Structure 1
């Protein structure tokens, strides 16, 4: 079993809205994704690094973050956190010490 990970609950001082995708028909055979709020969670956000890349002959970038929150079944890959105007897409979510207390999420914030 993994060693217990010490996380100070006082670090979870930022409030984020957990959002889930809601795909709806666009009336032309496609879909439009709307994001609906699930609930508000307390989080700690720490930047991990930035990455610049080329896509379709255009420079783009992304910023990676580690987000820690209390363990909950509704926090999972494919959802996102909204912090004011910032959007952090959840790429992975796991229990870092298998004790069922916290989730460590690796998230990507698009560089706009």
Structure 2
């Protein structure tokens, strides 16, 4: 596979990498708290915006492609944050299998 050229200068947006921590509240319900485990520099590119249906409720949805330097500890259970914007990781892949970069397809949680 040919090596893909990604301009490292385009990784200009600082994002926080967060992982979920699960705990039980006083009523015995599962509570998820997000903990920042690091910051990274990335390129965020919008892909699509539209509506996702949940039952009969329309939910706005925006998807993005986020390119960052390779980190082998990132999983799809984690999320990325930029200020108040939250990006849920849907897929991860190495675009040219060189181990240099990681491309994440994410869904922005529109509030």
State the TM-score, normalizing by the size of structure 1. 0.93
Give the whole-Å Cα distance in 2 for the aligned partners of 1:96 and 1:53: 27
Match of 1:61 in 2: 60
CA deviation digits over 1:31-64, x for unaligned, max 9? 1100000100001000000121332432212100
Secondary structure (helix, strand or coil) at the match of 2:9 reads helix
Measure, in 1, the Cα distance between the counterparts of 2:50 and 2:26. Answer: 37
**What SS does the aligned partner of 1:100 have?**
coil
Query: 2:38 aligned with 1:43, yes or no?
Result: no
Task: Give me the CA root mean square deviation.
Answer: 1.1
Q: Which segments of 5 or more consecutive residues in structure 2 lack a partner in the other structure?
A: none
Asked if 1:95 corresponds to 2:94, the answer is yes
Q: Distance in 2 between matches of 1:53 and 1:62?
A: 6
CA distance in 2, matches of 1:56, 1:26: 29
In structure 1, the gaps of 5 or more residues are: none
Q: 3-state DSSP class of the match of 1:10? A: helix
Alignment length, in residue pairs?
A: 111
